Amino acid sequence: MGEIISSLPTAEGTPSFKPTITPAEEPASLLPGTEPIAAKPSSPMPPATRIVISSIGVDAKVVELGTKLENGELVWETPDHAVGHHKGTANPGEVGNMVLSGHISSPLRNEGNVFARLPDIAIGALVTVYTDGAQYDYEVKSKRVVLPSEVSVMDPTPDQTLTMITCVPNWVYTHRLVVIAKPAA
């Protein structure tokens, strides 16, 4: 994944970063100071299409999030009434860090509040991620609140990891809630 310059995805805005761009995707002109970085090879595993967290009432589609130009800056896309799967992170069932993010609320963009109850998730809760052909169950192992600049939570991991991120506190968005889950036994 690219080097993130400012912060994790936000409820109403998105951070600037140096994205992972393959030559076929390279924009006609990159922003000053940005450069293409080699992308992760294509995954043999299919991408996530749906996430269910029954304990907090989540049943949402999952969409891939990439980057876009916004006001002259390269920023993360944000999920519209869905959970976003960050391109370049692991797919369900793969070794590595699968990073999913969603809005706790979105009053300015009106993109929903799919992770409104993520702060209420309990350690040990079951999270099910679906692909077009399979189901993957994860168990919540930890949760913590970090500053937006703590982007290491999106780094690759040596084992299968599901990282879910949303802004907290609601309506203020000064921090990020990071929930970590591992494959259920």
Other Cβ atoms within 10 Å of 108 Cβ, number: 9
CA distance 123 to 21: 36
| H or E stretch at 160 | strand 160-168
**112 residue type, one letter:** G
Of the ranges 13-27, 67-81, 147-161, the best mean pLDDT one:
147-161
Using a pLDDT cut of 70, give the percent of the chain over it: 77
Q: How do 160-168 and 175-183 pair as beta strands? A: antiparallel
Q: Quick one: which of 103, 147, 150, 143 has its CA closest to 4?
A: 150
CA distance 118 to 103: 10
- Domain 50-183 belongs in CATH node 3.40.50.150: no
Other Cβ atoms within 10 Å of 132 Cβ, number: 9
CA distance 34 to 39: 15
Q: Delimit the domains of the chain by residue range.
A: 50-183
What does the pLDDT look like over 155-164, one tens digit per residue? Answer: 999 999 999 9
DSSP 54: G
What does the pLDDT look like over 73-122, one tens digit per residue? Answer: 887 789 999 999 999 999 999 999 999 999 999 999 999 999 999 999 99
